[in-house]
Structure 1
Amino acid sequence: MVLLVIDVQKLIVTEKLYKFDLFVSNIKKLICAARKNKLEIIYVRHDDGAGCELTKGTDGFEIYDEFKPFSQEKIFDKSVNSAFRDTGLLDYLKNKNEKEVIVVGLQTDYCIDATVKCGFEHGFNITIPTYANSTVDNDFMTSEQSYKYYNEYMWNTRYASCISMDETLNKMEE
């Protein structure tokens, strides 16, 4: 089992996120539990490319201070929504014969959605803890509507197991 922490970068981890405080608290709990239980934590960062705000080399590109990776924890960079496309992550997990992936991070309706669906297509068992992914309002839905649509309707039992934090923490201890 691995904890996949996606796009928790300084530029986009802001108080505009749905249930910001709960999101931050839950990610910190999951990272702490993974380290305590000796589960691998893998970070993924999004790079929009030169000339954009979310670009390698800028402060906003770096992992949010409260979620900082340890030096031995892996970081993969991506330039598309899915953490599995052209990053090396897919080969890395397959070479480890890893099947269980806990997915957390940003944003629910973009990179989390793409990663969950692609992970499912590649045969991974995806777990999504409650309030460990988030997003902001868009032109079509509020952040709350987006969160509920994906977590309560779209992913659960189709592409992933959307379960409580307590259930996830217990699963990490097994």
Structure 2
Amino acid sequence: MNTALIIVDIQNDYFPNGKMELSNPEKAAANAVKVLEWFRQNHKDNIFHVQHIAADLALGFFLPNTVGAEIHETIQPLETESIIIKHFANSFLQTELESKLKEKGITKLVVAGMMTHMCIDATVRAAVDLGYEVSLIEDACATRELTYQDKVVPAQQVHFSFVSALHGMYANVISADEYLEQN
């Protein structure tokens, strides 16, 4: 199997009472778990958890050695699953992710995680630039409301704006259930 699952930043700070709470992170995590369980049964050697650890404390969340930076309990990695530590939105930038994927002959990626408008977008675009074929599990992703000047963009609109921009040119955007039905 030349397909790997990449689970990006499903970490405590994105959940209720975290330092960067997202909209409906529990629903996104539950859908990511569905896909994770399928990979654990079918392709257990091709699972990568990406964990963001803030290199700059001014970020205010994912601070080193805090509960907020830990991977959420719903999606805890098994000892046999790789954990990739990153310090930037792009999961490939200055990490060992690409070399680990190449070692395994991976050419296709299934991506899930958080935040849709930041780390998911950056990771999917980088993956395609590196030559990977990407499926994005959109309902296994979450984001938050954004504000620009006096305009507030609700989280759902942010999410669908970004996944619709990725769909087609960058990724096959699909739900968890659709992905599982097809595989």
Is 1:88 equivalent to 2:100 in the alignment? no
Distance 1:22 1:10 in 2: 14
CA distance in 2, matches of 1:148, 1:53: 24
- State the alpha-carbon separation in 1 of the partners of residues 35 and 66 from structure 2: 27
Match of 1:34 in 2: 39
Distance 2:142 2:125 in 1: 17
Shift of 1:34: 1.0
Of stretches 156-165 and 114-123 in structure 1, the one that deviates more from structure 2 is 156-165
Match of 2:110 among 84, 87, 102: 102
In structure 2, the residue matched to 1:156 is 167
Relative to the length of structure 2, the TM-score reads: 0.86
Alpha-carbon offset, residue 50 of structure 1: 5.8
Post-superposition offset of 1:56? 2.5
Of residues 3, 6, 19, the one that matches 1:4 is 6
* Structure 2 gap ranges (5+): none
Q: Is the 8 A contact 2:112 2:138 kept in 1?
A: no
Stretch of structure 1 that moved more, 11-20 or 22-31: 11-20
Runs of 5+ consecutive residues of structure 1 not aligned to the other structure: none
Aligned to 1:44: 50
Partner residue in 2 for 1:17:
22
Query: Which digits, 9 at most, give the CA deviation of each residue in 1:139-162, with x for residues without a partner?
Result: 1421111111011x2000010000
Shift in Å at residue 33 of structure 1? Answer: 1.1
Q: Secondary structure of 2:159's partner?
A: helix
In 2, the alpha carbon distance for the partners of 1:25 and 1:133 equals: 10
Partner of 1:67: 75
Q: Work out whether residues 19 and 131 of structure 1, in 8 Å CA contact, stay in contact via their aligned partners in 2.
A: no
DSSP 3-state at the match of 1:3: strand
How many angstroms apart in 2 are the aligned matches of 1:21 and 1:46?
18
User: Between the two proteins, what is the percent identity of the paired residues?
Assistant: 26
Matched with 1:126 is 134
Aligned residues: 171
Two-structure CA RMSD over aligned residues (Å): 1.7
Cα distance in 2 for residues equivalent to 1:97 and 1:160: 20
Residues in 1 aligned to 2:107 and 2:181: alpha-carbon distance in whole angstroms:
18
CA distance in 2, matches of 1:72, 1:126: 23
Is 1:168 matched with 2:179? Answer: yes
SS of residue in 1 equivalent to 2:5: strand
Q: Which amino acid aligns with 1:41?
A: I
How far, CA to CA, are the matches of 1:6 and 1:105 in structure 2?
A: 4
